[in-house]
Structure 1
């Protein structure tokens, strides 16, 4: 038994390392492309929009249903079919190839319409280039679908490494493309872009996704699974997949509508607006992906077991603890984003061919996204309470409401703010939407479970707010004190960030201890446990 536990722990740590490495490489990819194509250029905006389209279409068609519907069906087939679900998996892979091939062809023909949907603020030159890029990128829809399905089959067969490491392979290919483009002196302007440079960017980017697909399919074949297409993919309960994925689809559609409206609004901010929004959103996602997502992944099986036993008291206790610990962890990171947003932007993007004005704008957007980090994290954790209760309808409806508020906020920013400030209003819309989503989710869960430890949650969040305010004050004062002592720009930003983060962190912890913020002790104990490998 102990050996089994050790094996699971090792697998879990391996997956965590792979996830962290893939996230880091994905972020490095963003930095390299910004340096190569020029942060703030119309070229990078066109590239980024075109590269968003295959992900958006894939998520709408199948991505949202993959984990919640397809994986459980594969698991059931592996347990109930006499061939361990091999034929079922082959038919599912075949369906993905045939169906997504058709979707890809339609998307390629519809590329101008898709680009127009996201970019009302583009010039004709930008729009034409985005259409060209998108026609190279949209075949990624097929690659993502087959890679995800093959990865799911591998996971069912107990093989986790390749699906976790495959995104790293993708990012490394694109990083190499960006560095090559930089080395050959590729243009940062659309007019100066040669056919060879365009082909390098377009083919190289899609080659990264194809490399991801190749690694996963190769690993699937190596596992002993007979990789083959079946001419007749029927017999996999397509209607059941559609029925089960219905509510999940609503959540996905809501998220994609918000993404589209936010991107449209950012395009109205002029050159660099879309890139500032997307790169700031990437910064915003890093702490959530590395910290909060790990908390949610670890807690969902335990929540599901407690819910299955109708042990609602334990469900409430676990949800409350997860929200409180996540809030204690995320609050100082949110403060760092708000106080040090400009310095973070300079450190990550203030080099290469980046425009200083766009770097400054990016810093403001990062700071504004700091306001959304804590409510977004709490909202996402509480949503797991519904999933543990096997309720996908309620979180889907709440997600639709959150998206509606976010869309209204983005449209309001585009309508009310000067064009240069529209992109700064987008994260404020996100913050408002996720705050309402958090409160709504808590109230609905309280009605479902009877209580959700609300008084303790409110007290803890008030203490966190006070401690975070003290930390923010310490960090802000430190930034002002350090400014005359360090060189301006990229050379001084690491020192400023390090010293201000240290001062802000000490102020936050000291205030938290004085306020008896007990979740800080739990956080430290968990960190020490992880470091010791316990």
Structure 2
């Protein structure tokens, strides 16, 4: 029994397991939220306006903050903390202040031009729907500012391995939306859901503030931007931001390709991808996030043995678990599609087509999960450019393979070319990572970023 416990502790770290459980709970809360939306508002004008009002605030947050923050923050923060604890705290305070200011300015601009965004986001809305969209849009502009602060604090929690407070945040966000909808929809209609989104964002931030309060970091406004640490952060962040459109462009290509393959193809691909992303999130992303601070700390310390041990253990664990998940998805995916989606207008033919796409999508689960791990391993070595190069190459392979295969084999070309492109990314990233791992040595430590060192 002791041997089994030790084996589980090595291959299923507590942090990864905790994140997986909390991610699963957040998925459950999201499903409950959607069911409440469906029962309360139906598929009508109000919910259309609500969903449309989310698009631009989320996109702005993603492009300006979320896409670039995750890769460089933890390695730079841990390097500073090794050299000088105070410099690490000041760096964290500066990044926190910067991202909040950037999002506040962006939100203010969007607030002023909210009516103009309606034509861009929802050109088919009539005058009444546009008016509702603008009102909801302006309410929701509070959320990206709150999320910017929460995301920055979340990176500090990841660096300090405080995964409970990091992982609870998405669950509480959905809980806030549910509470707002249930408590306020009768009196405020769809604005109850919008207010719930703001409440959820505040809860998202609050639980991370609780975690931060238990650390040595103190939340203070600071703008010490002329430092080596901030320059290094920007050097690592900019390539990651530039590569951010690759994933949306991939699925835009899939939508475009599916639209040529008959009625229902676009929906089948969308639904199948939603199912496929569950094991990737529960296993690939959760284990990769949990491993990231250990990889970054090992690189900072020049401890190649520790780096390869953490990376190797997670490679084995993720490969085994996601291969099992892929096989399970292939076997029972059709049953899941029928159970969750079947009935009403979604007839047997729709179920069959979606199940076929999902079975092919299962092939990509291990590759996509490993890509998340290898990406974070590369980030830990303070390099984002090689990950971007692998992503661009994988995207090109996906597009070329999709265009070549779709006329021959139909809709299954989409998930198969996604698996092929993702496999190419994994192989390229693995090849690029090898020489960087070999260079890790206590005799050649990473360059100090602390002032005066």
For the criterion TM > 0.5, the same-fold answer is: yes
| 1:369-408 equivalence runs, <5 A | 369-382=358-371, 384-385=373-374, 387-388=376-377, 390=381, 392-403=384-395
Q: Indicate how the Cα distance of structure 1 residues 439 and 42 shifts in structure 2: closer, same or farther if over 3 A, else same.
A: farther
2:277 to 258, 279, 285: 285
Matched, 1:162 2:165: yes
Q: Indicate how the Cα distance of structure 1 residues 404 and 10 shifts in structure 2: closer, same or farther if over 3 A, else same.
A: closer
User: Who is 1:437 aligned against?
Assistant: 422
User: Who is 1:18 aligned against?
Assistant: 22
Distance in structure 1 (CA, Å) of the matches to 2:356 and 2:179: 30
| 1:305-316 equivalence runs, <5 A | 308=304
State the Cα deviation string for residues 277-304 of structure 1 (Å, max 9, x = none): 7666443322222233345456778988
Shift, 1:244, TM fit: 0.8
Matched, 1:248 2:240: yes
Shift, 1:365, TM fit: 4.4
2:323 to 320, 327, 342: 327
1:133 to 121, 133, 136: 136
| Maintained 8 Å contact 1:18/1:164 | yes
Distance in structure 1 (CA, Å) of the matches to 2:316 and 2:178: 41
Matched, 1:198 2:198: no
| Maintained 8 Å contact 2:322/2:369 | no
Distance in structure 2 (CA, Å) of the matches to 1:324 and 1:82: 38
User: Who is 1:461 aligned against?
Assistant: none
2:106 to 103, 108, 116: 103
1:229 to 199, 203, 221: 221
Q: Indicate how the Cα distance of structure 1 residues 157 and 378 shifts in structure 2: closer, same or farther if over 3 A, else same.
A: closer
Partner SS, residue 278 of structure 2 = helix
Matched, 1:29 2:33: yes
CA-based RMSD of the aligned residues comes to 4.8
Shift, 1:172, TM fit: 0.9
Distance in structure 2 (CA, Å) of the matches to 1:30 and 1:140: 19
Shift, 1:145, TM fit: 1.0
| Maintained 8 Å contact 1:266/1:273 | yes
TM-score between both structures, scaled by the size of structure 1 = 0.62
TM-score between both structures, scaled by the size of structure 2 = 0.71
State the Cα deviation string for residues 44-102 of structure 1 (Å, max 9, x = none): 34423332433322121121222221122222333333536333322222212212111
User: Who is 1:517 aligned against?
Assistant: none
Distance in structure 1 (CA, Å) of the matches to 2:414 and 2:87: 48
Partner SS, residue 343 of structure 1 = helix
Shift, 1:405, TM fit: 6.7
Matched, 1:344 2:340: yes
Residue ranges of structure 2 left out of the alignment (5+ in a row): 436-453
State the Cα deviation string for residues 482-524 of structure 1 (Å, max 9, x = none): xxxxxxxxxxxxxxxxxxxxxxxxxxxxxxxxxxxxxxxxxxx
Shift, 1:374, TM fit: 2.3
Matched, 1:142 2:145: yes
User: Who is 1:172 aligned against?
Assistant: 175
User: Who is 2:451 aligned against?
Assistant: none
Residue ranges of structure 1 left out of the alignment (5+ in a row): 185-194, 417-423, 451-534
1:74 to 77, 81, 92: 77
Partner SS, residue 228 of structure 1 = coil
Q: Indicate how the Cα distance of structure 1 residues 98 and 302 shifts in structure 2: closer, same or farther if over 3 A, else same.
A: closer
Q: Which has the larger radius of gyration?
A: 1
Shift, 1:383, TM fit: 5.9
User: Who is 2:52 aligned against?
Assistant: 49
| Maintained 8 Å contact 2:172/2:204 | yes
Q: Indicate how the Cα distance of structure 1 residues 314 and 286 shifts in structure 2: closer, same or farther if over 3 A, else same.
A: closer
